[in-house]
């Protein structure tokens, strides 16, 4: 009698969603995953690049989720750093509208833990840079912020917020309506408009309100005030716990360390990861995926891989273009027109940052304490700044240096994307000096990393995305997961949860794909600053 052939799941993309799917298939079934990754490394946008020993986290990744499953999954890969028992009971993580002690997340800690392969416990500090001043992010209307804004602007913020609450825009047609309804016009233009338009490249009144629903659904000015009170009034804090993430986990060597560890586990368990293999064609027979054709990026040779299931994290525009026989004309046109934003990170090594009035350096250093700084200055192209030292000291081999990540957002048609690396480096240094965070003469070296299609955008043909879903969802053994796979601005944990949902359906042999699309559409998936 012939032996049953092992079932194969071809997974397109070796980022968080693809690798999560592969490992879960191996943990839950005898299905063998074959991961096709077009680049030479795993992790996708969650990878960690290395420049002469200085590591860069592309985009900044907090390891915190409202999902217990995700938190436990991460710690099953990299355990928490050894922490004194007494400390574990005093340090807490904001979690699911309450908080949680470290003792509940400390699996694997203690004796025998490799100090190089651990999750660090890190404090979060993100701020907004506006009018050459630093403001708390998320919005915190404390005395510091009020003094920096000035009384007149604060009165305008209060008046416009009251107007928005008393007479909101009844139909939230676009992101501008969404933000003004929650913050008022004045606060929206002060702290949100410039940065948001840098990210997406279009005015906020051309962006779908769905973006706001997915990213900042629970945030409000009222919540910001309550959060500020909790910091100063212990009684308020006890009565109204918050889910705002102020402390998070972080792999010692950056997010790429976790995903590289996952990749090794996949291979040890019998899965395959094929690097520099670009999925070029997805062949359908009788409404099912029959095989995936991959092209070797270096040699150009192609390989056809028979697939019992296909899990795709590739950009939807590329997926639809790869399907054979071709998708219907309307589907193909909508997919080809889906907008994306590219991402550029300029690593800039400096001897020191410039001191800011009222914002002291980390003690014993020459740097600000922030993880991120959102740059709300309209006269520079820079969108956000990371200080890698504050993510993990292990990212920076020389603790006397400051390792910065200057972030830019653009489209492939923008002049910025076509600039040489040298020109982009010069731009970053010039803008750091312009907004007075760094003196140009303190810059030692720089490097550039480009990430195409890092942000699926919510304008243009995205309004017709349901037409694409109506075509792909009936393909029984094809599952779209992850950020680009679903053309949805998922965080890392959201992408993992979509992969889990797909695997659950495959292992069970049934289930609605709605479970995948339901991830990251309601409040349960988001951190907030109000209850």
Q: Per-residue pLDDT tens for 43-53?
A: 999 999 999 99
In a domain, 92, yes or no: no
- pLDDT at position 85 is 55
C-alpha count within 13 angstroms, C-beta hemisphere, residue 346: 30
In a domain, 201, yes or no: yes
- pLDDT at position 530 is 34
**Phi/psi of residue 445, nearest 5 degrees:** -160, 170
- pLDDT at position 231 is 47
Residue that is last in its domain, among 432, 456, 480: 456
In a domain, 112, yes or no: no
- Segment 354-360 shows an average pLDDT of 88
Of 150-154, 209-213, 296-300, the one with minimum mean pLDDT is 209-213
Two tokens, residue 13: 């993309």
Biggest alpha carbon–alpha carbon distance for the chain: 85
Give 111 or 166, the one with higher predicted confidence: 166
Q: What percent of the chain has pLDDT over 90?
A: 64
Picking from 171, 20, 155, 145, the residue whose alpha carbon sits closest to that of residue 496 is: 20
DSSP strand pairing (302-306 vs 277-285): unpaired
Two tokens, residue 379: 């006269």
Do residues 121 and 80 touch, judged by C-beta distance below 8 A?
Answer: yes
- Segment 134-160 shows an average pLDDT of 82
- pLDDT at position 352 is 98
Two tokens, residue 470: 């109506």
- pLDDT at position 147 is 81
Picking from 47, 113, 107, 46, the residue whose alpha carbon sits closest to that of residue 72 is: 107
- Segment 92-116 shows an average pLDDT of 54
Distance between CA atoms of 502 and 524, rounded to whole angstroms? 19
Residue that is last in its domain, among 400, 428, 456: 456
Picking from 55, 54, 57, 38, the residue whose alpha carbon sits closest to that of residue 46 is: 57
Give 145 or 73, the one with higher predicted confidence: 73
Q: Are residues 372 and 441 in the same domain?
A: yes
Give 154 or 326, the one with higher predicted confidence: 326
Distance between CA atoms of 133 and 141, rounded to whole angstroms? 15
> Taking 60 as the threshold, does the pLDDT of residue 427 lie above it?
yes
- pLDDT at position 332 is 98
Q: What percent of the chain has pLDDT over 70?
A: 84
Q: Are residues 203 and 281 in the same domain?
A: no
> Taking 60 as the threshold, does the pLDDT of residue 429 lie above it?
yes
> Taking 50 as the threshold, does the pLDDT of residue 238 lie above it?
no
In the three-class reduction of DSSP (H, G, I as helix; E, B as strand; rest coil), residue 500 is classed as helix
> Taking 60 as the threshold, does the pLDDT of residue 223 lie above it?
no
Do residues 467 and 328 touch, judged by C-beta distance below 8 A?
Answer: no
Domain with 475 in it: 8-45+257-338+458-524
Distance between CA atoms of 30 and 25, rounded to whole angstroms? 7
Q: Are residues 450 and 344 in the same domain?
A: yes
Of 43-57, 60-74, 199-213, 479-493, the one with minimum mean pLDDT is 199-213
Q: Are residues 496 and 359 in the same domain?
A: no
- What are the start-end ranges of the H helices in 328-482? 329-336, 415-418, 421-434, 465-472
Q: Are residues 444 and 464 in the same domain?
A: no
Q: Are residues 446 and 465 in the same domain?
A: no
The total number of structural domains that make up the chain: 3
- Segment 228-237 shows an average pLDDT of 43
Highest mean pLDDT among 138-142, 148-152, 225-229, 349-353: 349-353
C-alpha count within 13 angstroms, C-beta hemisphere, residue 30: 4
Q: Are residues 165 and 229 in the same domain?
A: yes
Distance between CA atoms of 45 and 407, rounded to whole angstroms? 13
Of 135-144, 160-169, 215-224, 459-468, the one with minimum mean pLDDT is 215-224
């Amino acid at each position: 009698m012939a032996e049953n052939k092992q079932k194969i799941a071809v997974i397109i993309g070796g980022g968080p969603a693809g690798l999560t799917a592969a490992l879960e298939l191996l943990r839950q079934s005898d299905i063998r995953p074959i991961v096709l990754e077009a680049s030479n490394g795993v992790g996708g946008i969650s990878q960690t690049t290395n420049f002469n020993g200085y590591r860069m986290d592309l985009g900044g990744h907090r390891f915190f989720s409202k999902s217990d499953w995700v938190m436990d999954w991460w710690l099953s890969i990299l355990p928490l750093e050894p922490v004194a028992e007494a400390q574990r009971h005093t340090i807490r993580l904001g979690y699911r509208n309450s908080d949680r002690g470290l003792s509940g997340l400390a699996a694997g800690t203690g004796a025998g833990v490799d100090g190089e392969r651990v999750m660090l416990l890190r404090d979060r500090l993100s701020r907004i840079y506006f009018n050459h001043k630093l403001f708390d992010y998320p919005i915190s209307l404390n005395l510091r912020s009020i003094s920096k804004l000035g009384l007149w602007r604060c009165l305008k913020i209060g008046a416009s917020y009251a107007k928005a609450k008393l007479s909101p825009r009844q139909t939230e047609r676009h992101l501008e309506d969404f933000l003004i309804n929650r913050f008022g016009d004045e606060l929206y233009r002060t702290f949100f408009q410039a940065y948001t338009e840098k990210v997406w490249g279009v005015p906020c009144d051309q962006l779908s309100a769905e973006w706001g629903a997915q990213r900042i659904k629970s945030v409000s000015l009222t919540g910001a005030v309550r959060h500020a009170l909790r910091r100063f009034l212990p009684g308020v804090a006890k009565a109204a716990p918050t889910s705002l993430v102020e402390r998070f986990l972080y792999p010692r060597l950056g997010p790429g360390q976790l995903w590289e560890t996952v990749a090794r586990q996949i291979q040890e368990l019998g899965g395959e990861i094929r690097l520099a293999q670009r999925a070029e064609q997805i062949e359908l027979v009788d409404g099912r995926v029959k095989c995936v054709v991959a092209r070797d990026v270096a040699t150009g040779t192609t390989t056809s891989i028979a697939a019992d299931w296909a899990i795709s994290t590739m950009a939807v525009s590329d997926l639809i273009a790869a399907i054979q026989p071709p998708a219907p004309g309307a589907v193909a046109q909508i997919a080809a027109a889906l907008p994306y934003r590219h991402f550029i990170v300029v690593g800039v090594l400096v001897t020191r940052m410039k001191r800011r009035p009222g914002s002291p350096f980390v003690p014993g250093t020459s740097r600000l304490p922030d993880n991120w700084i959102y740059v709300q200055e309209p006269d520079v192209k820079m969108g956000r700044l990371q200080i890698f030292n504050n993510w993990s000291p292990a990212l920076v081999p020389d603790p006397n240096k400051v390792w910065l990540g200057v972030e830019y957002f653009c489209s492939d048609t923008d002049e910025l994307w076509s600039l040489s690396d040298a020109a982009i480096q010069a731009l970053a240094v010039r803008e750091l000096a312009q907004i007075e965070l760094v003196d140009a003469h303190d810059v030692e070296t720089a490097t550039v990393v480009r990430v195409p299609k890092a942000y699926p955008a919510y304008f243009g043909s995205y309004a017709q995305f349901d037409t694409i879903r109506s075509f792909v969802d009936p393909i029984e053994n094809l599952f779209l997961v992850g950020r680009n796979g679903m053309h949805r601005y998922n965080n890392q944990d959201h992408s993992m949860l979509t992969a889990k949902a797909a695997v659950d359906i495959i292992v069970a042999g049934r289930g609605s794909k709605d479970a995948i699309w339901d991830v990251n559409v309601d409040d349960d998936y988001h951190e907030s600053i109000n209850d």
